[in-house]
Structure 1
Amino acid sequence: MNHFAEQFDTYIRARVTLIVIVTPEEERAIEHVKTVCEQKNRTCLSWDVADGFVVLTGRTGLDLKCRDPLVALDLMEKTGMDNTGTIFVCKDFHDFWANPPVRRKLRSVVQRLTQTRTSIVITTPTGQIPDELQDEAVIIHLRRPNGEELDAVLEGLLKGANVKINLTEPGREKVVQAAMGMTAGQARRVFSKAIVTCGCLDDRSITLITEEKAQLVRQSEALEFLSTTETADSVGGLGVLKDWLRLREKAFTKDARDYGLPAPKGIAMVGIPGTGKSLTAKMISGLWQLPLLRLDVGALFGSYVGESEDRTRRALHIAETIAPCILWVDEIEKAFAFGSGDAGTSQRVFATLLTWMQDKKEPCFVVATANNIAALPPELMRKGRFDEIFFLDLPHMAERREIFITHLKRRNRSPRDFDLKRLVKEADGYVGAEIEQAIIDAMYLAFSDRMREITTEDIVISLKRQVPLSVSQRENIQYLRQWLQEGRAQSASYPGEVAGEPGPGQVLLEIETRD
């Protein structure tokens, strides 16, 4: 008996009269209820406005053709008062929440059937129930199928068709892992599509299933599935952070679990805008070969009471189901800026996320990025939420060289054709995003000049046309660096490796002197 079945069995033995099952998988939920009733020798009937009553287990003398909700509730009450122990499963009954007579009748029936052996079960895709029924009902969330259940779905599909399988046992595990996070129905359809498209079940199926899952995750309102090919070479500098990540590259493997290592919880990256925080989040996904989910916190907020919290729980549950994965929360300080006009909704959503970050059991690695440290709540930054907090500073000389090489190669230019020493010197005080933009601007300049090849001079001209953040945001950068010097975070970069490289304070001093 799985966790859901155990929960349901406990509630009906405790004589709970109204049970609300929250799930988009109506068929799977009813199958679980039916299995429990068969094991406990309980009569179980379903009801909906189209088919009336349908016997799932046992026998009954009810008028099965009843399609009126008020009459149906009368019959449920009459049967329940006989203490027969019947379980009634009402499909789509949430459609009647807005009907006052039906809502009142349901509440009255539930109250009169208290402590009888009869239970009314309502399946609904949302966790919103009327205020009048809040005290009468218990809510069970049916979790999406785990790996074992998805493997059973795959096995059932393979038995029903003459399908060729070109997979080893580990390969089959990867197919099931690729489907994690889907409902049973979604997984069945995707498995079928993979078989029809590829003509068999093989390694190509894994890629196809992953692509289909990306589409399904994007329908979850607040989660975005990102495909990324970024590697450690895609990010210039940040040696300390890269070494920290490489040390934990195999942390999600079975060998790590057998060794006794817990899965890493996550990191927070704070610091100057344009230093590569977002790119690093994508790089982690590529380095560890784990799916990357971006949490769109703005999409968590709904207009109805409790809807925002419900969306948050659903999004986090999907992330847990897909685990191991990377959950990226970009500019987290803006996402949870508390306002006085939302009746505390943002605070409740933030509290839900904090609790989940502290207590989550599944290997979801959280990557939070932030630019404005002052806006970050202290409870977010304390130890236990993240494994480490990294500060991303202005790139030093060695890092600027790496950044130039990375972006020149990305645009099919050989770094040997440029005076890197001069470029590195001219880019003193520039962040990675500004260096990238200077190269792009230089390419536009050369392209408009009869499509000639770009030169070092083009890039230097483009650099000089920019006003770097180290100048325009001098006060903010000084504040951020003071935060680092107070020991509140670890620098993501090693000290400058080139002789004569000025320290952070010297760079700002030189900028101020030039001004």
Structure 2
Amino acid sequence: MEFNNLLDTFLRARFTLIILITHEEERAISAVLNACNASQRLCLSWDIADHFQWVSDGSSPIPVARDPLTALEQMEKIDLPHPVVFILKDFHDLWSNPPIRRKLRTLSQRFKYSRKTLFIVTPSSKIPPELKDEAVVLDYPLPDSRELAQVLTRMTHTAGVKVSLTPLGKEKLIQAALGLTSSQAQRAFARAIIQDGVLDDRAIDLVTEEKRQIIRESEALEFFPAAETMEDVGGLSELKEWLRLRETAFTQKAREYGLPAPKGIALIGIPGTGKSLTAKMIAGSWKLPLLRLDVGALFGSLVGESEERTRRALQLAHTIAPCILWIDEMEKALAHGGLDSGTSTRVFGSILTWMQEKTSPVFVVATANDISSLPPELL
């Protein structure tokens, strides 16, 4: 189901507390507003700087609330002739405040008997345990190719912008921008226009390079524009034949036929046997983008940081699909054993669950040096 339709369904079903996890606050609020307009709901936002603000077209007086607890109390008191949706910004900074947590839980329960819904838009996936049973937690997806095409269209319609894109070039440019946020894609397109003086097929390489730099900032992921082919790898004739038979499984024609995309392979061997080169060869032969996931870099020192990095990395791979996700030295996910309060087990469990449940065409190439350190459920 499309995400905007999902929000509309939740509103009509009178869900009272919905947490949207995203770094794209403006885009997420726009989606909530669209859902409000579709179901004739008023929409108010609150943050610590600007306090209450109308998001939809509202004419009723806005209550004054300069601190978060007062804002929550005012939400309960507000009585409007139409259903109302509240949007809270930056509330993840207040999770440690017991009165705030208690009031959110109370509102979630009391809003069931009114026509009110509370959205919390936050970049943090760490949710207080008291709210996990009360709230619906949603990851707001990155822009798909349709949304990126709209961003590109808006920019090319700006006065003074010269456009010389071929139809194939436009398609490849949008494909190159997958995995970027809406604002990141807009900046990449703008840089291409300013640098070259015109938006043409040369922008594809520039946007690809921009994406590589942005993905590198995620710490655990690295983007490879793999150019290796089967001729660069000696031997492995059976694997190469297996890959040739499945190369077309990622095409639109294969999807229309109902052919499932292959899920992945595991490459096991001592260092220096060509596992990394083989991963690059698969991406180059299939002409798909290659994302390298460094499992060791997933682990952070802060509570919840490792799980957050894992979630973001897998979400990015889902957005860029079809692609190759190269999970390098996967046994590192279990290397910490019982010394990290179960963090490595949770990270590995998240990866394993995603591999089992994923529906996007992401081909996983998992490499490991020691097969004895891998659990049976992986193999």
8 Å contact from structure 1 (residues 83, 116) kept in 2: no
CA deviations on 1:129-172 (whole Å, 9 max, x unpaired) are 22222222211211111111110111111112332322222221
CA deviations on 1:21-67 (whole Å, 9 max, x unpaired) are 11111001111111111121111111112212111224253435532
Where does 1:326-341 land on structure 2 (aligned, <5 Å)?
326-337=324-335, 339-341=337-339
Q: Which residue of 2 aligns with 1:33?
A: 32
The higher radius of gyration belongs to 1
8 Å contact from structure 1 (residues 21, 123) kept in 2: yes
When the two structures are superposed, what TM-score results if normalisation uses the length of structure 1? 0.69
The whole-number CA distance in structure 2 between the counterparts of 1:353 and 1:83 is 47
Q: Which residue of 2 aligns with 1:189?
A: 187
8 Å contact from structure 1 (residues 15, 115) kept in 2: no
Please give the secondary structure, in 2, of the residue aligned with 1:347: helix
**% identity of equivalent residues:** 58
8 Å contact from structure 1 (residues 84, 118) kept in 2: no
The whole-number CA distance in structure 2 between the counterparts of 1:170 and 1:113 is 50
Q: Which residue of 1 aligns with 2:90?
A: 92
Q: Which residue of 2 aligns with 1:476?
A: none
The whole-number CA distance in structure 2 between the counterparts of 1:295 and 1:200 is 35
CA deviations on 1:422-450 (whole Å, 9 max, x unpaired) are xxxxxxxxxxxxxxxxxxxxxxxxxxxxx
Tell me if 1:162 matches 2:163: no
Q: Which amino acid letter does the alignment assign opposite residue 77 of structure 2?
A: K
Cα separation, partners in 2 of 1:109 and 1:253, compared to 1, 3 Å: closer
Q: Which residue of 1 aligns with 2:49?
A: 50
The whole-number CA distance in structure 2 between the counterparts of 1:270 and 1:301 is 23
8 Å contact from structure 2 (residues 48, 66) kept in 1: yes
Tell me which moved more, 19-28 or 86-95.
Answer: 86-95
Q: Which residue of 2 aligns with 1:122?
A: 120
CA deviations on 1:368-409 (whole Å, 9 max, x unpaired) are 11221222211111xxxxxxxxxxxxxxxxxxxxxxxxxxxx
The whole-number CA distance in structure 1 between the counterparts of 2:23 and 2:83 is 27
Deviation at 1:303, TM superposition (A): 4.2
The whole-number CA distance in structure 1 between the counterparts of 2:210 and 2:98 is 41
8 Å contact from structure 2 (residues 43, 86) kept in 1: yes
1:111 alignment partner, one of 105, 109, 112? 109
Higher strand share: 2
8 Å contact from structure 1 (residues 281, 328) kept in 2: yes
When the two structures are superposed, what TM-score results if normalisation uses the length of structure 2? 0.92
The whole-number CA distance in structure 1 between the counterparts of 2:214 and 2:322 is 17
Cα separation, partners in 2 of 1:69 and 1:336, compared to 1, 3 Å: same
Deviation at 1:177, TM superposition (A): 0.5
Cα separation, partners in 2 of 1:96 and 1:62, compared to 1, 3 Å: farther
CA deviations on 1:247-302 (whole Å, 9 max, x unpaired) are 33333222333454332221111234322111111222222222111111122234
The whole-number CA distance in structure 2 between the counterparts of 1:299 and 1:359 is 23
1:209 alignment partner, one of 207, 210, 216? 207
Tell me if 1:20 matches 2:19: yes
Tell me if 1:3 matches 2:25: no
The whole-number CA distance in structure 2 between the counterparts of 1:272 and 1:97 is 46
The whole-number CA distance in structure 2 between the counterparts of 1:274 and 1:378 is 25
The whole-number CA distance in structure 2 between the counterparts of 1:153 and 1:140 is 24
CA deviations on 1:181-233 (whole Å, 9 max, x unpaired) are 11111111111111111222222111100000111111223211124333323
8 Å contact from structure 1 (residues 222, 311) kept in 2: yes
8 Å contact from structure 2 (residues 294, 329) kept in 1: no
Deviation at 1:126, TM superposition (A): 1.3
Q: Please provide the CA RMSD for this pair.
A: 2.1
Structure 1 unmatched ranges of 5 or more? 382-515
Q: Which amino acid letter does the alignment assign opposite residue 293 of structure 1?
A: L
The whole-number CA distance in structure 1 between the counterparts of 2:292 and 2:279 is 10
Q: Which residue of 2 aligns with 1:77?
A: 76
Structure 2 unmatched ranges of 5 or more? none
The whole-number CA distance in structure 2 between the counterparts of 1:334 and 1:43 is 49
2:353 alignment partner, one of 341, 347, 355? 355
